[in-house]
Structures are given as structure tokens and as C-alpha cells.
């Protein structure tokens, strides 16, 4: 799979869209308070809620099968000459619209640095730290078997 967000060669936009998708509307608003107000945007599509069919693979790595659907919300906006988009899991219309507006603003070179520094990077850091905390809790439950050799 090329250009997958989890692959190392993903673009900046793929990275920030994936970060915004994992951030609640509340967290997005909180970080937006640290930058000048975003320029006005116009809704082109949505925000509206629908379903995406999730898939698995037989045996984890075999033939794909349809697992079940998940609710998702999408929104497309225009902001000046830029179009912003968000597709996020769940049904939060405000999150999708905010994420789409931020995506549009991030494409404007005059706004990008401030938004990256005040919104995307702090959100990515808090997502990373939540993952790290889960990893540390899991690590604390790692089983260290004693072998007969060490017990002798």
C-alpha cells in the first residue's frame, strides 16, 4: 500500500489529517484558541454522518473480508483558494467541520506554521503520550517466565 498514513513516506497532509481525525472537537477548539481566528470557511459538503465498512484479513494476513461497519462523519469546506476535508470516525459533526477547516487553513502557507505549532503538533504529542501510557501499562503486565535453569 503506497502513501498509507502508517508508512514512512506519507505526506504532511496525510499526517495532519490523521492527527485531526483522532482529536475531539473540544481538543480542536482548545488548541485553536492559541492562534488567531481561522478565516471564514464555506461548507461545500456536509458535515454528514454515514458508514464505512471495516475489513479484516483471514488469518490476519490472508484474503480480505468485510468485518462490520463503523459510523464516520465527513465534511468538505472551502477557505479562500483552498479546499479542506475531514473524514473522522464517530458522529461528531462539529469535529469533522473543525478538522476540515483546519485542513484548509493548513494548506495556506501563511497560516501553516502557527497551526502546526499550536494545533497539530500538540495534538500529536498528546496522542503519542496516550499511546505511550497504554504501552507502559501493557509492559507492566508482561510475563517473565522463570526457566528451570535460573531456578536451580
Partner 1 sequence: MYVSVKGGESAIANAHAWLAERRRGDAALPEITADQIAEQLGLAVERVMAEGACIDRDLAALALKQARGDSTEAAFLLRAYRNTLPRFGYAAPLDTAAMQVQRRISATYKDLPGGQVLGPSFDYTHRLLELDLAGRKGEPDPAPQADTGVTPMPRVTEMLAREGLMARDTATDAEPPDLTREGLRFPAIRALALQSMARGDEGFLLALGYSTQRGYGNAHPFVGEIRMGAVPVEFTPPELGFAIDIGDVVVTECQMVNQFAGNNETPPQFTRGYGLVPGQNERKAMAMSLVDRALRASELGEEITAPAQDAEFVLYHCDNVESTGFVEHLKLPHYVDFQSELEKLRGIRARWAADRGEKS
**Residue whose C-alpha is closest to residue 95's, from 14, 13, 19, 26:** 26
Find the angle CA(139)-CA(124)-CA(142) to the nearest 5 degrees.
5
What does the radius of gyration of the chain's CA atoms come to, in whole angstroms? 20
**Least distance CB 31 / partner 1 (angstroms):** 18
DSSP 2-25: TT-TTSTT--HHHHHHHHHHTS-H
**Residue whose C-alpha is closest to residue 37's, from 47, 29, 25, 27:** 29
26 touches partner 1 (CB under 8 A):
no
**Least distance CB 83 / partner 1 (angstroms):** 8
Binding positions for partner 1, 47-106, rule CB under 8 A: 48-72, 74, 76, 85, 87-91
Task: Give the residue with the Cβ less far from partner 1, 19 or 38.
Answer: 19
**Least distance CB 122 / partner 1 (angstroms):** 18
CA–CA separation, 152 vs 143, rounded Å? 20
Task: Give the residue with the Cβ less far from partner 1, 33 or 81.
Answer: 81
**Least distance CB 15 / partner 1 (angstroms):** 9
Q: Contact positions toward partner 1, by CB under 8 A? A: 1, 3-6, 11, 14, 17-18, 21-22, 45, 48-72, 74, 76, 85, 87-91, 131-143, 145
Amino acid at each position: 500500500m503506497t502513501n498509507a498514513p502508517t508508512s514512512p513516506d506519507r505526506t504532511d497532509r496525510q499526517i495532519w489529517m490523521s492527527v485531526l481525525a483522532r482529536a475531539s472537537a473540544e481538543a480542536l477548539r482548545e488548541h485553536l484558541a492559541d492562534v488567531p481566528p481561522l478565516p471564514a470557511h464555506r461548507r461545500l459538503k456536509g458535515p454528514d454522518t454515514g458508514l464505512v465498512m471495516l475489513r479484516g484479513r483471514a488469518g490476519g494476513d490472508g484474503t480480505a473480508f468485510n468485518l462490520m461497519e463503523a459510523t464516520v462523519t465527513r465534511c468538505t469546506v472551502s477557505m479562500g483558494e483552498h479546499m479542506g476535508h475531514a473524514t473522522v470516525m464517530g458522529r461528531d459533526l462539529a469535529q469533522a467541520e473543525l478538522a476540515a477547516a483546519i485542513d484548509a487553513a493548513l494548506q495556506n502557507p501563511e497560516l501553516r506554521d502557527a497551526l502546526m505549532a499550536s494545533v497539530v503538533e500538540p495534538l500529536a504529542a498528546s496522542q503519542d503520550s496516550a499511546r505511550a501510557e497504554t504501552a507502559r501499562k501493557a509492559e507492566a503486565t508482561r510475563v517473565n517466565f522463570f526457566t528451570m535453569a535460573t531456578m536451580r
